Amino acid sequence: MKISKFLWSVLVVFALVPLIAPQQVGAIIVDGRINGQTTFTGSGTTTTTETTGINSTGINSTGIHELDFNGQLFPHGPLSVTNATGDFIPTLGSQATFNLPIRWTGSGSSVNLLDVLPGVGGPAWSILIPGDGFATATLFSLKSVTFDEDSLTLIGRGTTQLITNDPLLGDPLVLKHSAARIVIQGTGQDFTYNLSVVTTAVPESGSGLGLLAIGLVGVVAVEGLRRRIETRQNRYA
């Protein structure tokens, strides 16, 4: 039996109810999919941990490779949002941070992303949009990674979510979500690179079940980031 996308969206709304603060329960609108792209720039460094536990910069190593994001919050960044299109335009001029370094094994197209939790995903970036909400994207897998001491190219797949306040509707939070392609490229020296991180929303091509899955991942992101925003606001109150 096929279930319409509208019904899937209704199910997502019911899933949202227990996860959002009580004062926000009546103010959630599931508004479909994201369109557009966002680009961050910043600095990052790769290291490799051998099976012996010794850090190195071995390009052909069979150990665990790690990309750290340099900055005040090392290894989380931040990175600057330097370009944005479509639904991501409100993020322009903000800063993005990663919750985890990106770690993987293998090389080329035979790579395995580490730190991935079933149904939750792996490393994720987030952007707080002052007075307007936040955006996030989560890596679920890597398609390929190539790097040496002078350059890095990492291509991954995941999901992206955008939670914004719509001034035309008053207080409601508008939830948008989509599959995403995340590409990280950089050039530099000694395994430290000037990075460009490009996240592109992928047009829908799956079934309503895929829409629900992305929506539920978005719900997890909403609650986690909402708590982080509250903590940050309390800290500086």
pLDDT of 103-159, one tens digit each? Answer: 999 999 999 999 999 989 999 999 998 777 899 999 999 999 999 999 999 999 999
Q: Is the peptide bond before 78 cis (omega within 30 degrees of 0)?
A: yes
Element (H, E) at 213: helix 208-235
Instruction: Give which of 160, 163, 184, 193 is closest to 175, Cα–Cα.
Output: 163
Element (H, E) at 12: helix 5-16
**Can you give the pLDDT at residue 218?**
47
pTM for the whole structure: 0.74
| Residue linked to tokens 């319409």 | 4
Q: Residue 72, SS3? A: coil
Q: Residue 58, SS3? A: coil
Element (H, E) at 6: helix 5-16
Provide φ and ψ at 167, rounded to 5°: -65, -20
**Can you give the pLDDT at residue 8?**
43
Q: What DSSP designation does 2 have?
A: -
- Residue ranges, the chain, pLDDT below 70: 1-31, 51-61, 166-172, 204-237
